[in-house]
Structure 1
C-alpha cells in the first residue's frame, strides 16, 4: 500500500529537514594566523569553475569565521577523511571550542596565502577571497584557489541525516580486503 502523501510545507524547519537527506562531504574552512585563527565545519563547499580554479561556500553572517575572512581575505578548505570526525566536531564547536582551540589535536601547514592547511586529510585548497555576497542570513564566499595539496586516498567523511558517515574504504581496509595485509 502506498504511503500517504504529506502536505507541502514552506517553513524553515521543513527546509532544514529536507536538506538532511542530501549527503555532503565534510570539510573544515580555516582562516587566520597564529593566535588569530578560527574556522568552521562545512558541507556547503562547491566547485564553481576549473578555469580559473574557483570554489564557493556559505557562512552565517553572525559567525566569527566571516569576520576573520573579511580581515584576512584568505582561507583553507580541508576535505576530511572518515577518521577525522573529531576535527569536524571541534570546528563545529560541539564542545564549545572557539578560535585557535579548534586547531588542537591536528597538524597544520600553509602554502601560498598562509592560511592553515590540514596535514593528513584527503586534500586541502589554499584560497584567496575573490568576492563575498550577502544574502539573507548568510554570505556566499567565492574563493580563487591558489594552491592544491593532495593527501591520501582514503574514505571520505560525509554528513547525512544529522550524523557523520563514511564513504569508501580506508587504504589499509582495502589492502586487507584484497589480501595484501595480514588480518
Structure 2
C-alpha cells in the first residue's frame, strides 16, 4: 500500500532564530570539551554539536562558531581532542563555556590533563577522549563543521568507569 504524504503548508511568519533555539532546548545532547594547542598554550571550549561520522576510518565532526579562538587554533595546528564529560563534569563544562571568568591556561587548572597522539590536551577523567587530525572544514551559516580523523583514544576504561554522563538540556547541565 502506498501512502501519499501531503506537504506542510508554508509558515505564516518566518521562523526566527529564537524559536529555533527554544525548540533545540528540548534536545538532550552529550557535553564535550574540545581542546587544541595554540602558540599561547592550550585552549578549549564546551560543545554539544559533536557526532560520529564513520568507524572506517574512525571519524568525528564538531561544529564551532567562526569567531572561536579554539577554532582558530585547530585550523592553525590541524589537531584537536574531543573530551566527553562524565556526570560530575559540570564545573569543567561551566569553565570551558566561559561562565567562570577563566581564560587560557587557567581553564585547565581544575582537572588532570594528558596528551595522546597529536599533543592536543586530553582529559584524564573523560568518558572518552577522541584525539583527532583535522581532515576537512565546511562553512555552514555562523559555524564551521570540522571533520577529524580519530588517531588516538583516551579517557576511562570499562575497569575505571564510574558511570553517568553529562548532558545539556533546557539550558542546563544534567547528569544521566
TM-score (norm 2): 0.87
In structure 2, the CA distance between the partners of 1:66 and 1:34, relative to structure 1 (3 Å rule), is closer
Which residue does the alignment assign to 1:40?
45
- Which of 71, 78, 91 in structure 2 is aligned with 1:66? 71
Describe the shift of the 1:77–1:90 C-alpha distance in structure 2 as closer, same or farther (beyond 3 A).
same
Greater mean alpha carbon deviation, residues 19-28 or residues 129-138: 129-138
Q: Is the deviation greater in 92-101 or in 129-138? A: 92-101
Aligned partner of 2:16 in structure 1 is 11
Cα distance per residue 1:95-115 (max 9 Å; x no partner): 222222211111110111111
Do structure 1's residue 137 and structure 2's residue 146 form an aligned pair? no
Query: Is contact 1:93–1:102 with CA below 8 Å preserved after alignment?
Result: no
Q: How many residues align?
A: 161
How far apart, CA to CA, are the structure 2 residues paired with 1:8 and 1:18?
16
Query: Is the CA contact (8 Å cut-off) linking 2:136 and 2:148 kept in structure 1?
Result: yes
CA deviation profile, 1:53-91 (whole Å, cap 9, x unmatched): 000010000111111111111011111111111100111
Alignment match, 1:178:
none
2:173 and 2:13 mapped to 1: Cα distance? Answer: 28
List runs of 5+ in structure 2 lacking aligned partners: 1-11
Q: Is the 8 A contact 1:82 1:157 kept in 2?
A: yes
CA contact (8 A) 1:29 1:75 kept: yes
Aligned twin of 1:161: 170
Structure 1 runs (4+) deviating above 6 angstroms are none
Give the Cα–Cα distance (whole angstroms) in 2 for the partners of residues 119 and 35 of structure 1.
22
Aligned partner of residue 141 in structure 1, secondary structure: strand
Aligned to 1:79: 84
Correspondence for 1:21: 26
